Amino acid sequence: MVTNKKDKEKMPSGVAVAGRAKKLLNLFSYQAVGTLLVFLALILVFIFFTPHHLFVDPRNIKALAKLTPDLGIVALGVGMLMISGEFDLSVSTVLPFSSYIFVLLLRAGINPVFSLFMAMGVGALLGLLNGLITVKGHIPSFIATLGTMMFWRGVLYVHSRMWPIGIRAYFPAGSSFEHVLIGEIGGVVPAQVIWFVVFALILGVVLHFHKFGNWVYATGDNKEAARAMGINTDRVKTICFMIVGTLSGFVGVMQLLRLGSFAATQGLGFELKAIAASVVGGTSLMGGIGSIAGIFWGALTIQILENGLILMRVPVFGISAFIGLAVILFVVLNTYMRRRMMMMR
């Protein structure tokens, strides 16, 4: 059969359109849509059942808008790492460690913008270390990052003596730098929300529309097959670890500015909450499955659930039980839906 020139020109464009359509489906996967629906359902429940409708009180909404991005930004990096098939438990240490570096640089008279990049660089360096230990030492990332979490936490506690360090003596409130990171847009929208959305968009483009994202999915789905295709899986995983460290460093500084003081316990518990947010958003614990949209809604769902339960006067220790139950239910539901879709093919 003879194919004319015009037909040849059309074939690649058709393939390209099909490829873009598939990427869009990955971005708006059924897991992400399911998490969004649960998120909306939780909002309705808490609107009607919190005492005096406190959930929709402007003060509570503003508090949520300021607090949620802290976990959300970290969860974006952790979720992307999980898609590549690895875990990072050290975020709860990298976050305050980077924050501490920022404070030390401020005390030394270093420009705050440069100090921010240095803090993020330290986070990236610690992420690089996690990646090298995992891929070069052939140690499960769960164990490797558990070890680095405990090591750097010990170093931080000893060096800082766990003393709070106020930053107002070295960094005045209301500066343009502080306004960019934690100010309010139009006096209504906290800057943290903008940063959360910006990082979600950036990582969404990288994961779903860039070749590196394809490498991440391939590495998490089948590492040996990815290597056979010429993908440097060790490099992919190490870069993902560095992304987690960089985002943790950024959040550490952002949280420090919001609190006005350094605390060695910043971010405590974020390692498990970030994993929970990713799982709730449809990210597979085995790697190769997940989406930035799902992780985004997963982080919001975890934070909304915690906030709503507090307003409903559920005992503090009981909140963890509800979050744990939610994680289990989402894993069961996503596993069931995945099997159903495979049977329908």
Beta-strand pair 165-166/184-185: unpaired
CA distances from 2 to 5, 126, 332 (A): 10, 58, 52
In a domain, 3, yes or no: no
Are 81 and 243 in contact, with CB atoms under 8 Å apart?
yes
Query: For residue 16, is pLDDT > 50?
Result: no
Instruction: Give the pLDDT band of residue 91 (cuts 50, 70, 90).
Output: very high
Are 46 and 55 in contact, with CB atoms under 8 Å apart?
yes
Three-state DSSP class for 131?
Answer: helix
In a domain, 19, yes or no: no
In a domain, 307, yes or no: yes
Write the DSSP assignment of 72-88 as a string of letters.
Answer: HHHHHHHHHHHHTT---
How far is Cα 26 from Cα 151, in angstroms, rounded to an integer?
37
pLDDT at residue 174, rounded to an integer: 82
In a domain, 53, yes or no: yes
Three-state DSSP class for 165?
Answer: strand
The mean pLDDT of 65-89, rounded to a whole number, is: 96
How far is Cα 298 from Cα 281, in angstroms, rounded to an integer?
4
- Kindly report the pTM of this predicted structure: 0.90
In a domain, 201, yes or no: yes
Q: How many helices (H) and strands (E) does the chain have?
A: 14, 4
pLDDT at residue 233, rounded to an integer: 97
Per the structure, the count of domains in the chain is: 1
In a domain, 18, yes or no: no
How far is Cα 177 from Cα 235, in angstroms, rounded to an integer?
34
In a domain, 230, yes or no: yes
- What's 98's domain CATH number? 1.10.3470
- The closest of 144, 106, 115 to 127, measured between CA atoms, is 144
Mean pLDDT (the chain) is 88
In a domain, 51, yes or no: yes
pLDDT at residue 28, rounded to an integer: 52
The mean pLDDT of 274-302, rounded to a whole number, is: 92
For residue 231, how far is the Cα from the chain centroid? 24
**Domain encompassing residue 220:** 30-344
